Amino acid sequence: MLVHFTKMHGLGNDFMVVDQISQKVRLRPEHVRRLSDRNLGVGFDQLLIVDPPSNPEFDFCYRIFNADGTEEKNSGNGARCFAVFVHEKKLTCKKTLKVETAGGPLIVTLNDKGHVTVDMGVPCLDPSSLPFQVEAPAISYSLNLAQQPIEIGAISIGNPHAITRVEDVATAEVNKLGAEIENHPYFPNRVNAGFLQVLSRTQGRLRVYERGIGEILASGTGASAAMVYGRLQGWFDSRVEIQLPGGRLQIEWPGEGHSVKLTGPVQRVFEGQIFL
């Protein structure tokens, strides 16, 4: 099976994008694991699959697979790369796309200055949606780890995030704590762990430990969840710049009941083909 693909990234969060509309390939989880290997394969955080929609009201369907082969429901950086990919491949001439994902409908808009805005939808604070096994919804929760308890916000942006505030992301034990949080028994399907440093009412820094991957350079859903948690706590205004190791994202969220809007850049790295 010969697979044509494009390697792309959003702030260093990198993707292998495969068009399953114009080529007949079907990638299985074992293929994803092989391809994600940075020494023996293409290397990526996630694989993005472009499919025709099952519902004619949508322009495309796109699926997201983590490096370990598990399927993910949403990716803000991936959605931006997806939008640029289908436009560059002339699969559409539309600047605004309505897309099917496992996490629900997504609206993506290509802007004039090379940035892409994603309507991430209304964040869900219901613990059962993550799922997160606690008795009742709250803005923050205490989570017992091996060394110490921590305070987290539990938010779903199409996929689950546990956000904790830290004094300095540079010294935060992201890999150690992130692995503990990801696999905590209160999260039966695992969870993405975000470590947020609040700089001001309009700026924050974030590092993300993503389930099935480990620490990554950027996460659009993670940045969105961090903004929502910070705003619920009264730390942020309605527009915030989140600085990640890979770059900066602009996020808008008026408050409960409203969608999160995420804007950032996209970069195509190279085109390739590989035989499986």
How do residues 229-241 score in pLDDT, each as one tens digit?
999 999 999 999 9
User: What band does 212 get if pLDDT is binned at 50, 70 and 90?
Assistant: confident
Amino acid (1-letter code) at residue 136: A
Q: Two tokens at 131?
A: 């799922």
pLDDT, residue 104, reads 86
For residues 6-17, one letter each, b for 16 or more C-beta atoms within 10 angstroms of the residue's C-beta and e for the rest, the string is bbbbbbebbbbb
Q: Two tokens at 174?
A: 């992201």
pLDDT, residue 41, reads 94
With residues binned 3-state (H G I as helix, E B as strand, rest as coil), the percentages for the chain, rounded to 5, are 15, 40, 45
pLDDT, residue 238, reads 97
pLDDT, residue 70, reads 93
Q: How far apart are CA 163 and CA 153, in angstroms?
A: 5
pLDDT, residue 6, reads 98
**Domain 2-119+265-275 top-level CATH class:** alpha beta
- Which residues lie across from 46 on neighbouring strands? 15, 66
Q: Which long-range CB contacts under 8 A does 83-86 form with residues at least 24 apart?
A: 83/108, 83/109, 83/110, 83/116, 83/118, 83/266, 84/8, 84/110, 84/116, 84/266, 84/268, 85/6, 85/8, 85/17, 85/19, 85/48, 85/50, 85/268, 86/50, 86/60
Percentage with pLDDT > 70 across the chain: 100
Q: Two tokens at 1?
A: 């099976």
Q: Do domains 2-119+265-275 and 127-258 have the same CATH topology?
A: yes
Q: Is 228 exposed, middle or buried (0-12, 13-18, 19+ CB in 10 A)?
A: buried
DSSP, collapsed to helix, strand or coil, labels residue 229 as: helix
The ranges assigned to domains in the chain are 2-119+265-275, 127-258
The mean pLDDT value of the chain amounts to: 95
How do residues 56-65 score in pLDDT, each as one tens digit?
999 999 999 9
Contact by Cβ (8 Å): 190, 211:
yes
Q: What is the mean pLDDT of residues 4-24?
A: 95
pLDDT, residue 113, reads 78
User: What band does 38 get if pLDDT is binned at 50, 70 and 90?
Assistant: very high
Contact by Cβ (8 Å): 169, 223:
no
At which residue do the structure tokens 């950086």 appear? 77
Q: Is the pLDDT of residue 50 over 90?
A: yes
**Second-level CATH architecture of 127-258:** Roll (3.10)
How do residues 154-200 score in pLDDT, each as one tens digit?
999 989 999 999 999 999 999 999 999 999 999 999 999 999 999 99
How do residues 96-113 score in pLDDT, each as one tens digit?
999 999 888 999 999 977
Q: Is the pLDDT of residue 123 over 90?
A: yes
